[in-house]
Structure 1
Amino acid sequence: MKRIVVLGGSFGGLTAAFEVKRLLGKEAEVTVISNDDRFVFLPSLPWLIMGWRRPEDITLRVSDILRPKDIQFLHEAALQVDAETSKVRTKTKEIAYDYLVISTGPFLSFDEVPGLGPDNGYTDCTFDLDHAIKTGQTWRKIIETPGPIVIGSAQMVSCFGPSYELAFEMDAELRRMKMRHKVPILYLTSEPYLGHMGVGGLGNSKRFFEDEFAERDIKSIVSQAIEEVTPGEIRLKDGTKIPFRLAMIAPPFKGVPSVAPLGNPRGFIPVDKRYRHTKNKNIFAIGVAMAIAPPEQTPVPTGVPKTGYMTVKMAKTAAAAISADVRGTTPPAESEIDVMCLMDMGNTAAFMKAAPVLPPRQESVTKKGIWAKWLKVGFEKYFLWKMKNGMSNLP
């Protein structure tokens, strides 16, 4: 029996665990290691901030959904991976593996910008459940005492979608409450232009975001790096000072410390097209943990996004490669990764697609319509049902 260890209990980790177990059955002993026993449907965190979802609406208990699939769960943080001896060390255990799948997500590197972050700084964040809950509290204070909002992304960010969503959602909600004129909204980003998204844009995304922001009177400052944040003020490296009452700024991304030694200088892990580590052939890395070189150099550094959609596809590819290794068969043919996103805009939504994710592309599009909003609502319910029942074989 092969021992497969999966680090991470979110989109990639759970999909990889379910899929390896489905493909190999009793030939595999699968263990998931995570310091969080909650699966959170991360795309719904902006809705939670707005008060449109409760935490219990978008979370599942990881241990409960793994147990029926005969997958072991260790509720601890991985402290170290020893690639030479093929072992993972936690606070209480040392777990040997034949194959390791790393799906640890990002390390939110707030410390790279003084004053950034909700724990030791002055800004809010929406990349995990606890931070989103706190951001929701700040948002409700804005409704009580209006003032300027700054939303966006610092340098070295590789996930821009939630910031765009919140800018649109806050605009729509403030208009519904007839108080938009009391709350200036500024979108601040490291992207070289609106709609760049770290991938050189998606179809007509530059014009799309410029037009939508102009229609909603959302001001923007692009291609900027943040020097520091002080109480109520963001200071840019060019000397500009921006006041705020709420600042929701995505922080720089790095690899999680326990796996960072396996990666590049920022801790992201180099892999081949089946997500196998370029040096350690029994280690796979998927999602934010793996390294993708940006398609172009930008004046302010940005990273390439790895969305939940992309991560699930990576997980299935890695699981198929592990299964082929174990059984001595040929793995499925390599394929370019593509991306599809549904971006909520408050009173409507947008569908965005890039195939492949990096240019030059076969297809690239951004389209708006209320149908995209209902697709997003439906997908939330579908994906939570799929994870709850361990249905990794479904799209």
Structure 2
Amino acid sequence: MKHIAILGSGFAALTTIRRLRALGVRDAITVVSPRNELVYLPSLIWLPSGQRSGDDLRIPLARFFERQGVRWHRGSVLQVLDGGRRVATDQGDIHNDVLVIATGGRYLRTLPGIEHAVIPCEGIAAAESIRDRLASMDGGTIAVGFSSNPKEPGAVRGGPMFEFLFGIDTLLRRQGRRERFKLMFFNPAEQPGQRLGPAVVAKMLARMQALGIDTHLGHKPLRFEPGRVVTDGGGFDADLILFMPGLTGPAWLEGSALPQSDGGFVAADESCRVRGMEQVYVAGDAGSYPGPEWMAKQAHQADLQAGAVAKNIAAEIRGEPTRHGFKTELVCIVDALDSGMLVYRRGRRNLALPRTRGFHWLKQYFEARYLKAYR
């Protein structure tokens, strides 16, 4: 019997467990994470409007782990040592025969004054703070923007920021307060959101213009000050700043002997193997993978990578070839509280279906269907 250690309890980690068990792998699995819960990050966009609460998005995992025959080790990863065979945590060491790294990435907080901005996808507390700030404001300027990792431009999560922007616009209109607010979207690129596809970018910018949302594009953010955004193209006042910086790898990676990409992620091959290491895999935001420049850092892509990891581990245990790769695919619904636009990208195909109320309902249906496996 092999001992499989999985670091993390997010999308990639949980999908790896489900796929391993579905493939008939009955070997021991230990999950290492600080909390045995899943936070459903895609629905953070609905917290400021009250369509969701924090409790709606916290999914306890104890029963799921029990059903899957998984042991949970409560702890935070400190280092990966001995060629991946030993994981040092703040609650002791975990030895393994197969290691899966799925701890996710972290946001670059290097921009001066980043403490003056809210990073919405950091978690429930951040999204709730946006809700509370909006409720307390009588008017003013709300600035929404994002940027990437300069050493790895693909390490960006811009889609949710479009959703927060359009969602806030919808919320203020519902409340009859929109005319008291100025919404400003800022980005260092003149055509932001290229990973969604050029046609999508054009539609996003046209939608902003139609809604009276101002833009400050093509200028690199230099710093944030209390009540102000400063870029290399000038500055502007803002009473509330929502900003999504680029992503990099987990902090513990800096103390481990694992290969890293230029952007600070675990370097992986096309089969999600950590380069130069035996029986060590990575899935999700912690890794850097070969693929098209538009490959997204999103839950759907993490699930696809986790599926490849599970297939390779199962094949390895059976003594079969381990050449399973993952599909590169982008699927998302850019939601605005009352409607949504479906975006799909794979290979040369890039679709952007018009906004409808049905896509908003579809996004809610997918949330319920996805989480059913863990409840």
TM-score (norm 2): 0.92
> Is the 8 Å Cα contact of residues 35 and 74 (structure 2) preserved in structure 1?
yes
For 2:73, the equivalent position in structure 1 comes to: 74
| Structure-1 separation of matches of 2:289 and 2:220 | 21
Counterpart residue type for residue 32 of structure 2: I
For 1:391, the equivalent position in structure 2 comes to: none
| Structure-2 separation of matches of 1:382 and 1:335 | 23
For 2:335, the equivalent position in structure 1 comes to: 344
| Structure-1 separation of matches of 2:326 and 2:290 | 17
| Structure-2 separation of matches of 1:387 and 1:332 | 29
For 2:152, the equivalent position in structure 1 comes to: none
Superposition map of 1:173-322 within 5 A: 173-196=171-194, 199=195, 201-202=196-197, 204-238=199-233, 240-260=234-254, 261=256, 262=258, 263-292=260-289, 305-322=296-313
- Give yes or no for the alignment of 1:29 onto 2:20: no
CA drift at 1:172: 0.9
> Is the 8 Å Cα contact of residues 293 and 304 (structure 1) preserved in structure 2?
no
% identical aligned pairs: 22
TM-score (norm 1): 0.87
Structure 1 pair 191/321, CA: closer, same or farther in 2 (3 Å)? farther
| Structure-2 separation of matches of 1:191 and 1:346 | 26
CA RMSD between the two structures:
1.9
> Is the 8 Å Cα contact of residues 287 and 311 (structure 1) preserved in structure 2?
yes
Q: What SS does structure 2 have at the residue aligned with 1:371?
A: helix
Unaligned runs of 5+ in 1: 297-302, 389-395
| Structure-2 separation of matches of 1:294 and 1:122 | 35
Structure 1 pair 130/37, CA: closer, same or farther in 2 (3 Å)? farther
**1 or 2, which has the higher strand percentage?**
2
How many pairs does the alignment contain?
365
> Is the 8 Å Cα contact of residues 113 and 224 (structure 2) preserved in structure 1?
yes
Q: 1:109-165 CA distances to partner (integer Å, 9 max, x unpaired)?
A: 21x11111xxxx1111221122222222222223xx211000111342510011000
> Is the 8 Å Cα contact of residues 9 and 39 (structure 1) preserved in structure 2?
yes
> Is the 8 Å Cα contact of residues 48 and 54 (structure 1) preserved in structure 2?
yes
Structure 1 pair 85/6, CA: closer, same or farther in 2 (3 Å)? closer
For 2:6, the equivalent position in structure 1 comes to: 6
Counterpart residue type for residue 161 of structure 2: S
CA drift at 1:203: 5.4
> Is the 8 Å Cα contact of residues 257 and 267 (structure 1) preserved in structure 2?
no
CA drift at 1:335: 4.8
For 2:351, the equivalent position in structure 1 comes to: 365
> Is the 8 Å Cα contact of residues 107 and 256 (structure 1) preserved in structure 2?
yes
Q: What SS does structure 2 have at the residue aligned with 1:46?
A: helix
CA drift at 1:272: 1.6
CA drift at 1:295: 5.4
| Structure-2 separation of matches of 1:372 and 1:382 | 15
> Is the 8 Å Cα contact of residues 269 and 290 (structure 2) preserved in structure 1?
no
Counterpart residue type for residue 98 of structure 1: D
